[in-house]
Amino acid sequence: MARGIFSGAAGTNVTKEAEIEVVKIALEVFESTSWKCSNSLVIEVASAMVFSWCINKGLRPWSLQAIFLEIESTKRKTGSIVFSLVDRNGNDLAFSLALAGVNRTQLFKVWW
């Protein structure tokens, strides 16, 4: 069950980089809540390549190491994190948020 959503410009036009930025933001949102002590975070990614980067450090491109260092640092501060590969075409909410985020000047975040 989704307990938080966010939408905003990712700062890159490269799809894979944008998806990694989203992973970083999801971890930051999770870390800032009280959920991290009592709940697991499931991060759904639609790219098989990004999924493999998340679960296998050896496959990560060097050009994105700074982002992954931030991700790993945040992961150490939180509880259980699970990465899940999902069907890109079956996630209408993520698609809608991505479209809305293109025109945002600031990141919109909400959780409950």
Domain range for 88 is 4-111
pLDDT of residue 4: 63
Q: What angle do CA 26, 109, 50 make, to 5 degrees?
A: 25
Number of domains observed in the structure of the chain? 1
- Between 49 and 37, where is the model more confident? 49
Residue 71 has phi, psi (to 5 degrees) of: -60, -50
CATH number for the domain spanning 61: value is: 3.30.420.10
Distance CA 110, CA 26 (A): 11
**pLDDT at position 78:** 82
Closest by alpha carbon to 2, among 23, 26, 34? 26
Task: Grade residue 92 by pLDDT with cuts at 50, 70 and 90.
Answer: low
